[in-house]
Each structure stands twice: as structure tokens, then as C-alpha cells.
Amino acid sequence: MAAAPLQGSIWDLVLQAVPSMAMAVLFAWFALALLREFRTMMGERDAEWREFLRAMTERWRSFLADERTARGEGMARLAEEVKRNREAIAAWNARLEMLAAAHEEMRQHE
């Protein structure tokens, strides 16, 4: 038994497959173009996010340094005020002791 001859030539089959192959190539090209655009967009977004985080970190460090300086100055002023108050209280205490001693001496001479 002899093999049946092909119905049409190989070129007919190729010509029938060309539109499908062209669509597949276009689809692949479009998908790669979208992927490239997405990667570019994500790279830009990531760069903006890194810049934002860097700026926020710098602001936070600046705030902490300012806060530390202000707290130190505040504590120094508070310590100075406590020292002045202690000296004033000691002076008042010395005067009160002097008055109490004078009062006691007057009571003894009555």
C-alpha cells in the first residue's frame, strides 16, 4: 500500500500558520514591552521611596539632635534654678534660726 499524497504543498501549511505565528510574536513583544515599562516604573518608584526615606531619616535625626540640645539646655536652666532656690532657702533658714534663737533668748530674759 502506497502512502497517500499530501493534500496541497508544505507552503500551504506554512501560509496557514503565519497569521497565528505573527499574533504570537506580537503578543510576546507586547508582553515584554509592558514588562519593561513596569520595571522602569517600579525602579522610579523605588528611587522616590528611597529618597523619601532618606529625607525622613535626616529630618528625624535633626529633630533628635535639636531635642537633645533643648533638653540639655532645659536641664541646665533647671539645675541653676534649683541651686538658686536651695541658696535662698538656706538663707531664709539661717534667718529663721537666728530669729528663733533671738526669740528664745528673749524668753529666757523675761
pTM strictly above 0.85: no
| Identity of residue 55 | A
pLDDT of residue 6: 54
What is the pLDDT confidence band of residue 14, given thresholds at 50, 70 and 90?
A: confident
Residue 42 has pLDDT above 90, yes or no: yes
Instruction: Please tell me the distance from the alpha carbon of residue 110 to that of residue 98, in angstroms, as a whole number.
Output: 19
Taking all residues of the chain, what is their mean pLDDT, rounded to a whole number? 91
End-to-end alpha-carbon separation of the chain, Å?
Answer: 158
- Long-range Cβ contacts of 45-51 (<8 Å, 24+ apart): none
